[in-house]
Amino acid sequence: MPQSAPRFWHNIQAQGIYTLIYIFNSVFSLVLLCLIYPGCFRDGEMHDFGVYWYTKDCLRCYCTREVVSCCNIAVTPVGYDQEKCESVFDVESCSYQVRGKVNPLQSCEVESWVI
């Protein structure tokens, strides 16, 4: 029994570290998705309270009395064959197309997307 105790505590410590890494990644990902700016002045323009608008760099912004919150609206492909395919961002449609590296006319299957 004494030999299993250190292994037990090692497993508990490892799980704690993995939990902290998960929490950090979750919070860090949220920070990357939305940006907060003071006031309602954005992109050289004053915006009204309670108004949503879209920016040229594919953000959806909203103005409150205190801040402007801008969040990414582009969905990014992550589940595809990155050796054979590449993702190309289209600013006009705020979307990605996944196509073949050798033959850009060939579309590639995407299994998952993230915001």
The pLDDT tens digits for 18-64 are: 444 444 444 443 344 687 777 787 788 888 888 898 988 889 999 88
Number of structural domains (the chain) is 2
- Let me know whether 80 and 68 are in one domain: no
Q: Which residue has the higher pLDDT, 97 or 1?
A: 97
- Let me know whether 60 and 35 are in one domain: yes
Rounded distance, CA 33 to CA 109, Å? 25
The pair of three-digit structure tokens given for residue 72, joined into one six-digit string: 């990414």
Rounded distance, CA 84 to CA 64, Å? 45
Rounded distance, CA 59 to CA 36, Å? 12
Say whether pTM exceeds 0.75: no
Domain that holds residue 90: 76-114
Instruction: Give pLDDT, residue 6.
Output: 54
